[in-house]
Structure 1
């Protein structure tokens, strides 16, 4: 009875590569080389997205669930590659998705063929190539706090400064909570004098670069050494397929610069000041020559947030804020979004650079639930290189070259053009270095109110932002603009203000139990009972409102736990909880939102059932039709 489906499946698997070759023979081969494919499966039964990975159920249980799901998905990916005739050298994970590693880098027509084969399989929801994500470009040079114009109190010829001295008066005391901040980047120079003085505040971190050629550290894979060996690209490197499109460049010391921005040894009479004088830095190395593989980057975000990554020791210091200064190569993908969702749900705010393309942001800046930061000059104008658009949360100084080093950003650096050389302070520009400004401020906010959620941090920083400055340039306008005047629709809510953000952090925190995806027609519970006020105050009122989605009635809307009955049609809903404390003389408020997706479950087409039969027959029909069309087209020329 089952012989017919089995026959079609086997026949499709045997002949699919040859038939697809007929189609791909007319494709134009181009693009970046890929080391593998990142795959999202339709079936929830064996997918790595399935386990509850949140710390609230216990680290050991989450790790065991992840390990079991990872092993199942690796076996599943191996079978998939075998059935489709794709040579592979292993299966692994990429954030919350599966990773099929090619036996050699593929690009152009060969890569298109492999992606098409996988995409057409009934159990595959989506697929993307595992390519190198290029590091955002920087401009280095070289010297102390008076030169760190971006940290000063705004005024005069420096209106874009972030007002750190007034923020430090609220946070530089023994009552603050040290916050773990992850720098997911190219590693760090632990021996830089401004960083070595951090002592135990500079955590060991981990090296998650999986490919030897990219790692450039000679030890062949992931390990506990998160130091940066240098990421230079030589003319000889460009002879390799993986680096053919890379730019010859000196080592950037990118992660070291960012680490110094956030937490360089401060108030010590020498060097530069970091934004958070008490933060603990977690270096997570994901990048090497020419950038980071998507799979390594996504695993790095997961590990930084304290979520399990197969084959890697557990991170015992989960980060509350993650700096991710990469992007610009493609629109946000499911692989990126799923991993960002997992990190956010674990309590980590993911702060990203808007990009240096002077146009619309690309991944991860165009993903949901991240905090995308654009760059402004000292005078408040959008920096000519900065990407911009409605996805941007706010803007922060990123440096600009119009007055030489004076308008660039100063932080910890290294003089080595390839391997590490003399330690120094250097100058750079780029949205890579705007993001750490927001990371440092978020860390200060958590140091006075550790229960703020990622969304609450974003909303309060946006609420505390100063208005954009009406500089003498035309308004920024998509699709592209160089130097221009920012508005709230192009450069976010305004200019980052550290003091205002820290003051807004001292109110109560609305904390909502996540809901996620439910079946249409479900009666949902809106639970804000975990909301808290700061010591010495209590929550006085709760108020639930609906932000978006088809209008529904909220029952008990003025209590901590409310409810709503959703209609029977699929839709997405957002609800907001606003809490008010009893602080005198003026009560303070805090709010947060929860998103509910009402959708019917997607069923798998696997297992040899009727879906597989129709998939095989439809695939045959489609491939033969395309081949016939190509044959007819050739006769016309």
Structure 2
């Protein structure tokens, strides 16, 4: 079967490591169904709703709104209660779960009321499930999603390359990440890494489906009691599964402590995580997740104390994928509202794009407005087969892909040996967009930590920095454009390339591409008038490719001095110079690197050099006049005769001379001069930038002129040929070529020689300098008839290309 793209979800596999023993715990595979398009998809349990989420014009839903809800439900269920969520957003709970189809129709009816702004079903969501900075965590070498030490090209492979940025920051307390998930368990790798969170799962009653699992409603204990389920618990024919300890895994990906001699390292080991429990048995309700978003970002949730330490980044490794845009749009309404408010409070919200191998544009909440949607890639940099794809995916990160690449292509993290309730801490392997999302959340936290040092960034600024911290996806592969994958005995052919498509986001999170300095810029060169000073970048996480250069004189910007090289002038005498290198990419432009100040520029004479108004052909000498003149403000200054060097920007000396006295003229400052001939073979074709450097003599200090451009043309050669006029068609003719290009005589000119029969090239060869410009070339057999033979000399750096005249030869 050939597929344009996959619609396949990989069954999660967790490998636990305990006391040195590896124990495989594999969920039983679910038989896939087949879509109308013939693509396999995993069996999905029927989606259900526990009620509605509504925004009303009144503080809480009116009696009329509740009655309208009851009427719309008919015999399917009854309204049980309503609760204020935040602001004018509330929940209306039913006395039993109903299908989302029924809830959607009820929401549509209720939304028609004048006192209702919008209404949406309150549905259930599931979780989606040599380093530059060495650390001593024993499992770190196995964290190929953080830094792949097995890869050499590119360095770090297709990981997020967090250790590159650790040289600047591992994160700070100002960039906390809230993990909205199943809660959290104690783990040695999280000691000291967790701030108080909240259990946002509301009380089970009166729901038929009980997902809280801890015997209570919302409270201050976000400990994960386990999210296991027995067969049929989450719906008819739903499978049994063990506890995932998903929230602990996600928290470890963000902030597992580094350099503590145990376990793993998080992508941002210097930040703290805030557990917000929103997922329990069978998943989590929209109302609880939205309450979690609101509380974690510093908003008020009715009946819950405000968050004393709001989080700047929120991670949601959870979601559902719908069949139609209409469904997606309906369920996005409350999420977009919550996200808008959270972003206004400064929080970035990251969500997993989903593991259905389907259209990411239909994933909720990842595709909703205000969320950063994260797709997953394999450790080889290709799109993971299970990852949802689409134009709403913003960014991708490693999530693993065992089905395509084998068991090693997964993500190592924190877990627990308990099958239902918690037992002992362990290390497990998972794969999914659930694993990719916390890598991006941690990356956002690292960037927020940096931006906090130069102000208080908005959510948009952090997101802009995040999107600037990506590398392009790897080159398109013909193999992965039609990759054969076997699933449950059936073969599928899928396109796993990101390049060439707009379905994986802006790029692959790559924290080695953050343009921030590690050490100051330096200035190299002699500090004196006219001599070039060069801005040399220090160490950066990534050196800006095309930065701004800002030269300053005693702290004030110098007008027009915006290039890498600066030549001091008389205005700089007695003043110190600095230079700032500033990235062009926003917001990395907030992290310039400024050099230390130079010594004050010493006084010196003015040096002038004449240039040619016309282009000069290589090989032709040119005599320039150099004058060394007393400073305008000190016209009687004595100027001693001394040596002059004609130099290029790199310091190469192309000619020298010595000055002589110049008769003084009334009203003119003292001066000396020299006429210096630049040899014809010293030129560089193109624009040759030269300056005159006066080395100083006696009491006169050294100084140099401004750089002067000389336009240098290549030598135009003469190409002569000699060829017989007739040749048998069974014999080979020869053409004798002579290329003359003074001053190249011994050795002669070098370059390619091509022989053409009409417009068709029939011979290509090389003319070497040792041939002294002459070469005899044997032609291939010529068909009977007339032929027009010409020769092209390809030229080189100093000699231009040139064709010979055409010569006719008849083959008989």
Task: State the TM-score, normalizing by the size of structure 2.
Answer: 0.51
Q: 1:589 to 1:77 in 2, by over 3 A?
A: farther
Deviation of the 1:320 alpha carbon: 0.3
Q: Which runs of 5+ in 2 are unaligned?
A: 1-44, 130-137, 323-327, 484-491, 520-554, 558-577, 588-812
Alignment of 1:432-451 (within 5 A): 432-450=434-452, 451=456
Find 2:221's aligned residue among 221, 225, 231. Answer: 225
1:497 and 1:318 mapped to 2: Cα distance? 27
The alpha carbon displacement at 1:335 in A equals 0.8
Contact 1:384–1:481 at 8 Å: present in 2 too?
no
Partner of 1:464: 469
**For 2:239 and 2:273, how far apart are their aligned partners in 1?**
30
Tell me the residue number matched to 1:585: 580
> 1:371 maps to what in 2?
372
**Is 1:126 matched up with 2:118?**
yes
Higher relative contact order (CA 8 A, sep 6+): 1
**Partner of residue 460, structure 2:** 455
Question: Is structure 2 residue 192 aligned with structure 1 residue 186?
Answer: no
Is the partner of 2:250 in helix, strand or coil? helix
- Counterpart-to-counterpart distance in 1, 2:406 and 2:498: 23
Q: Identify if the C-alpha distance between structure 1 residues 73 and 589 changes in structure 2 by more than 3 Å, giving closer, same or farther.
A: farther
Moved more, 468-477 or 377-386: 468-477
Give deviations 1:93-118, integer Å, cap 9, x for gaps: 45663211112222378646634542
Aligned to 1:24: none
Aligned length: 447
Q: Tell me, in whole angstroms, the C-alpha distance in 2 between the residues paired with 1:505 and 1:287.
A: 41
Please give the root-mean-square deviation of Cα atoms over the aligned residues, in Å: 3.2
Matched, 1:501 2:506: no
Find the residue that maps to 1:151 and give its secondary structure. Answer: coil
Q: Classify the secondary structure of the residue corresponding to 2:466.
A: helix
1:489 to 495, 502, 518: 502
Q: Distance in 1 between matches of 2:125 and 2:101?
A: 20
Residue 206 of structure 1 deviates from its aligned partner by 0.4
| Maintained 8 Å contact 1:95/1:335 | no
Distance 1:228 1:192 in 2: 12
Task: For 1:193-342, list aligned pairs within 5 A.
Answer: 193-195=188-190, 197-198=191-192, 201-212=193-204, 214-235=210-231, 237-238=233-234, 243-244=235-236, 246-330=238-322, 331-332=328-329, 333-342=332-341
Deviation at 1:358, TM superposition (A): 1.5
The structure carrying a bigger helix percent of its residues is 1
**8 Å Cα contact 1:208-1:222 kept in structure 2:** yes
Q: Which of residues 139, 164, 167 is equivalent to 2:165?
A: 167
Q: What are the superposed Cα offsets for residues 11-40 of structure 1, whole Å, 9 maximum, x if unpaired?
A: xxxxxxxxxxxxxxxxxxx95332111223
Rg larger in structure: 2
CA contact (8 A) 1:395 1:491 kept: yes
Return 463-472 or 211-220, whichever deviates more.
Answer: 211-220
Give, in angstroms, the shift of residue 148 of structure 1. Answer: 0.3
How far is 1:499 from its partner?
2.7
For residue 352 of structure 1, give the secondary structure of its aligned residue in structure 2.
strand
Question: Per-residue displacement from partner, 1:404-456 (whole Å, max 9, x unpaired)?
Answer: 44221001011111111221000000001101001111111111222232222
Residues 454 and 32 of structure 1, relative CA distance in 2, 3 Å threshold: same
In 2, Cα distance between equivalents of 1:85 and 1:411:
44
In structure 1, the gaps of 5 or more residues are: 1-29, 47-68, 138-142, 507-537, 541-582, 593-637
Contact 1:135 1:290 in 2 (8 A): no
Q: Deviations over 1:352-409 (max 9, x none)?
A: 1111122221111211222111111111110000111221121110012145442210
Supply the distance in 1 between the matched residues of 2:237 and 2:340 (Cα, whole angstroms): 31
| TM-score where L is the length of structure 1 | 0.64
CA contact (8 A) 1:187 1:286 kept: yes
Matched residue, 1:357? 356
Q: Which has the higher strand share?
A: 2
CA–CA distance in structure 2, aligned partners of residues 498 and 417 of structure 1: 36
Q: Does 1:38 align with 2:53?
A: yes
Contact 2:401 2:431 in 1 (8 A): yes
